[in-house]
Chain A
């Protein structure tokens, strides 16, 4: 006896005997599922890419930036409170840190040959390279000795090097920066696209920078910096280091216990999780848009199942005459709908996977097909088959056998 198999073979026969109709039903689902898979893979890929860029910086990087201070509930804009002296204090007083690199950013006029541009220049210490995980492509980063002497040397990000020296080797060349002449001693490896990328930066010793830019000072006479980057010796110690630096800086900045911090301190991990949350929301949005096409596909399934029921009224009558109960009839149509949408889901996954693979290979974007999305898309498509197939199937099962038999 093949009783359990009968409903399946019946549904299968229904599918293959109406090839064009089955194909059209499946097509709607294929497009919906394919779109979901493709868009979600693009979103997930972007997320993974950005996270890996941040991870490139090292998971044990902690950055301090000047932050908004508030006074009596009024935001007072960005206060320039971080100083080189803060950086030195951190370096001397805080345990579990491997390196500290303060930096000061300034927009400077650059003149190379006949070209005249404006660019952001970062004055920093030699530790900056290791703290930020930068890699040299040619030449070298400036040394502690060059820093001490205030040597007029510069290291270029890969994009800057290409823009300023499109046809010649930058290392060894000279350029004017503000009021001083600097010599290029190194070019960095590209780190890939991300915001605030070192590819677009120029690094010189902070001591050299002070010769052309008057570094502002705080009321107490501290030399202001734009940020302080700290490498924690062990990523597990991130939080304790952040806590210690926070309390050290609060003391140094004479903040009362009730006052907010006048600086921001964040580890790469925190930045990564904030960003990935934002991108996750974006990916969800993309998926939701794609899900609309899946919904339209589902309505297509209902439409075609209704037509199918209408067209097969006589068949339903015959089956009822042969003893089919209502549940046999709706079961048959429901299985058929679920089968079509399941097949559509599988083909859609393959199509979406293929498209995202092609996008990846063409280098347009990084894509990542996640297994959870695949499972979700296929089960949602089967669910759509059951949901949208139910009404037509139920309609079919309610037909009066003699009326169904008489229909042409």
Chain B
């Protein structure tokens, strides 16, 4: 489903360039549950952002469903993000002034249009049917992350990318989030790629990719 070929990403740092990813090659098949691990600064987030079409590689080719999206225009990339990819961020990234329900509806806003019933179903799915009218500030961190998951899954994407989804949560809420995400993978066959620092969480995955200094240093299958 995902193929990275010699992907390099550099950022300008004043006069010098900072290379975050160095010629990374990677294949991820449909339906896989993958954990990406590595120390901070190793390029995990950059890699995930590239996979999520939020950023473009400096060089190399990125194929998503056999299409070379690294050559897509920004409008085409937006469509790919909307149709195929659900994001779950460490900082939730909910719109603070909208209710939980409206935030979930936003997940469909740019792909086919809002649908209140589907949004409600998605909230029920993550166990927040009762709290649909609450704003993010009235919800706990775990609840906010569940709203974010509902927003990601409401459009039935084949791929969910999660960047340290439990990083801001206590271990109990974190475990709930992991349970929801893994059950999505198990029940719907969604391809799930997540960044984590937690070896316990990584152990739930089928495949662990270790990054170091912008390169894949090892892979393991727990």
Contact A325 B107 (CB under 8 A): no
Closest residue of chain A to B86, judged by CB?
A: A322
Does A183 have its Cβ within 8 Å of any Cβ on chain B?
Answer: no
**In the assembled complex, which residues on chain A have CB atoms less than 8 Å from the CB atom of B151?**
322
Closest residue of chain A to B148, judged by CB?
A: A318
Does A326 have its Cβ within 8 Å of any Cβ on chain B?
Answer: yes
Contact B55 A400 (CB under 8 A): yes
Contact B110 A323 (CB under 8 A): yes
Does B180 have its Cβ within 8 Å of any Cβ on chain A?
Answer: no
Given A320-B81, A326-B74, the answer on whether A6 and B97 have CB atoms closer than 8 Å is no
**In the assembled complex, which residues on chain A have CB atoms less than 8 Å from the CB atom of B112?**
1, 3
Contact B93 A402 (CB under 8 A): no
Q: Give the docked Cα–Cα distance between A328 and B83 (Å).
A: 15
| CB contact between A402 and one of B54, B102, B110, B113 (< 8 Å): that residue | B54
Contact A323 B111 (CB under 8 A): yes
- How distant is A4 from chain B, measured CB to nearest CB, in Å? 8
Digitize B36-72: 1 where CB-to-A-CB distance is under 8 Å, 0 elsewhere. 0000000000000100101100000000000000000
Q: Which residues between 318 and 367 of chain A lie within 8 Å of chain B, taking CB atoms?
A: 318-326, 328
| CB contact between B110 and one of A17, A324, A401, A405 (< 8 Å): that residue | A324
Contact B106 A322 (CB under 8 A): yes
Given A2-B114, A6-B113, A325-B78, the answer on whether A13 and B98 have CB atoms closer than 8 Å is yes
Given A13-B98, A324-B78, A401-B54, the answer on whether A319 and B114 have CB atoms closer than 8 Å is no
| CB contact between B109 and one of A10, A315, A401 (< 8 Å): that residue | A10
**In the assembled complex, which residues on chain A have CB atoms less than 8 Å from the CB atom of B94?**
318
Q: Give the docked Cα–Cα distance between A336 and B174 (Å).
A: 38
Q: Give the docked Cα–Cα distance between A314 and B92 (Å).
A: 12
Contact B114 A326 (CB under 8 A): no
Q: Give the docked Cα–Cα distance between A10 and B110 (Å).
A: 12
Contact B54 A322 (CB under 8 A): no
Contact B109 A325 (CB under 8 A): no
Q: Give the docked Cα–Cα distance between A400 and B49 (Å).
A: 12
Interface centre among A314, A321, A325, by most chain B C-beta atoms within 10 angstroms, is: A321
**In the assembled complex, which residues on chain B have CB atoms less than 8 Å from the CB atom of A2?**
113-115
Q: Give the docked Cα–Cα distance between A317 and B94 (Å).
A: 11
Closest residue of chain B to A328, judged by CB?
A: B110
**In the assembled complex, which residues on chain A have CB atoms less than 8 Å from the CB atom of B106?**
318-319, 322
Contact A321 B113 (CB under 8 A): no
Contact A323 B75 (CB under 8 A): no
Q: Give the docked Cα–Cα distance between A326 and B115 (Å).
A: 22
| CB contact between B82 and one of A1, A315, A323, A326 (< 8 Å): that residue | A323
- How distant is B139 from chain A, measured CB to nearest CB, in Å? 17
- How distant is A408 from chain B, measured CB to nearest CB, in Å? 10
Closest residue of chain B to A9, judged by CB?
A: B114
Closest residue of chain A to B111, judged by CB?
A: A323
Contact B110 A322 (CB under 8 A): yes
**In the assembled complex, which residues on chain A have CB atoms less than 8 Å from the CB atom of B89?**
405
Closest residue of chain B to A325, judged by CB?
A: B78
- How distant is A322 from chain B, measured CB to nearest CB, in Å? 6
Contact A402 B55 (CB under 8 A): yes
Knowing that A319-B109, A319-B110, A400-B55 are A-B contacts, what are 20 other residue pairs whose CB atoms are under 8 Å apart, sorted by A's residue number?
A1-B112, A1-B115, A3-B114, A6-B109, A9-B114, A13-B97, A13-B98, A17-B97, A314-B93, A317-B93, A318-B93, A320-B54, A320-B78, A322-B82, A323-B83, A325-B74, A325-B75, A326-B74, A401-B54, A401-B55
8 inter-chain pairs at a CB distance below 8 angstroms, sorted by A residue, are A3-B112, A3-B114, A13-B97, A13-B98, A317-B93, A324-B109, A325-B75, A402-B55
Top 8 nearest A-B pairs by Cβ distance?
A323-B82, A3-B113, A323-B110, A17-B97, A325-B78, A402-B54, A1-B113, A402-B55
